[in-house]
């Protein structure tokens, strides 16, 4: 069931915007105070959409399907960079909104019970102030009328940025970085279907590792929703 999203800008939000005008997360243009999301219409229109629906990929054999909303380039690259580094959680909410708009065009969606964001190591989360994947997941969950669980899959080791590593090193680096919180995995979680949420899919190693861990622990189907896919 799809829950209608309340797009009104609250009075409090309007006051905040008088002091800090809301700007488009792509072109930095100051937005009209009634604009519910942090993106202007021309930028929104020109985002490079992926348009492929849920698909299986040989690179991520543990996933039953991946949905990417956009290609990781142009306005999307700028928007994701700003979402990560501008310390404004509203940008992640905007992104959650944008990807759900894309997602809704591919009905029926696969059945899933709840959403798990790809976790960030607590130390990194403290440094940044938030896990952007978690914020995007929460926004998507509100729209899709599902719950978000952040206590099932944990990142217990702070890995080096994947981009600096070779493939084999990447796998080794990741294998032990994530763990399942056994206290949260009870019989009621068995045979459940999960939707993992992450920001950018590059090699797919991270999200595939998360899916493997979930399946090794009894979850039967794991799908993924990512903002963007990076293509070489
Ligand atoms: Zn713009």
Give the tens place of pLDDT for each residue, 3-25. 445 556 788 877 777 777 889 99
Q: Is residue 27 part of a domain?
A: no
CA of 32 to the centre of ligand 1 (A): 12
Q: Is residue 132 part of a domain?
A: yes
For position 188, what pLDDT does the model report?
Answer: 58
Tell me the pLDDT tens digit for each residue of 174-222: 778 899 887 776 665 678 999 999 999 998 989 999 999 999 888 999 9
CA of 29 to the centre of ligand 1 (A): 6
CA of 31 to the centre of ligand 1 (A): 9
Q: Is residue 25 part of a domain?
A: no
Considering the entire predicted model, what is its pTM? Answer: 0.88
Kindly tell me the burial class for residue 48, based on how many C-beta atoms sit within 10 Å of its own C-beta (0-12, 13-18, 19 or more): middle
CA of 131 to the centre of ligand 1 (A): 24
CA of 2 to the centre of ligand 1 (A): 28
Q: Which of 169, 170, 182, 186 is nearest to 213 (CA)?
A: 182
Q: Is residue 15 part of a domain?
A: no
pLDDT confidence of 2, banded at 50, 70, 90? very low
* Helices marked H in the chain: 11-19, 41-46, 74-85, 89-103, 122-128, 132-144, 167-175, 205-216
Res. 83: pLDDT tops 60: yes
Number of domains in the chain: 1
Place of tokens 């998507």: 140
Contact by Cβ (8 Å): 198, 133: yes
Domain housing 215: 47-229
Q: Is residue 196 part of a domain?
A: yes
CATH code at position 182: 3.40.50
Cis amide bond preceding 108, omega within 30: yes
CA of 181 to the centre of ligand 1 (A): 41
Q: Is residue 1 part of a domain?
A: no
Q: Is residue 157 part of a domain?
A: yes
Ion ligand 1: residues, CB within 5 A, are 24, 26-27, 29, 40, 43
Mark residue 74 as left, alpha or beta (left: phi above 0; alpha: psi -120 to 50; beta: remaining). left
Tell me the pLDDT tens digit for each residue of 87-104: 888 899 999 999 999 999
Tell me the pLDDT tens digit for each residue of 120-152: 999 999 988 899 999 999 999 999 999 999 999
Q: Is residue 74 part of a domain?
A: yes
Q: What is the mean pLDDT of residues 50-70?
A: 95
């Amino acid at each position: 069931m799809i829950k209608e999203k309340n797009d009104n800008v609250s009075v409090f939000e309007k006051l905040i915007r008088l002091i800090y005008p809301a700007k488009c997360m792509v072109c930095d243009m100051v937005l009209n105070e009634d604009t519910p999301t942090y993106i202007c219409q021309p930028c929104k229109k020109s985002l490079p959409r992926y348009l492929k629906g849920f698909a299986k990929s040989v690179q991520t054999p543990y996933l039953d399907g991946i949905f990417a909303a956009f290609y990781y380039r142009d306005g999307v690259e700028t928007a994701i960079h700003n979402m990560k580094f501008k310390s404004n959680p509203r940008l992640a909410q905007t992104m959650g909104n944008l990807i759900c708009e894309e997602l809704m065009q591919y009905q029926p969606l696969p059945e899933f019970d709840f959403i798990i964001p790809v976790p960030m190591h607590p130390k990194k989360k403290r440094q940044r102030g938030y896990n952007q994947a978690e914020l995007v997941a929460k926004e998507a969950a509100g729209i899709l009328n599902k719950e978000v669980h952040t206590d099932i899959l944990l990142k217990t080791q702070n890995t080096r940025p994947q981009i600096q590593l070779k493939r084999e090193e990447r796998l080794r680096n990741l294998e032990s970085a994530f763990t399942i919180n056994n206290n949260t995995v009870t019989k009621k979680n068995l045979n459940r279907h999960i939707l993992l949420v992450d920001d950018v899919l590059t090699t797919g190693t991270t999200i595939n590792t998360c899916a493997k861990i979930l399946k090794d622990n009894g979850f039967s189907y794991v799908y993924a929703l990512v903002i963007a896919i990076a293509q070489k």
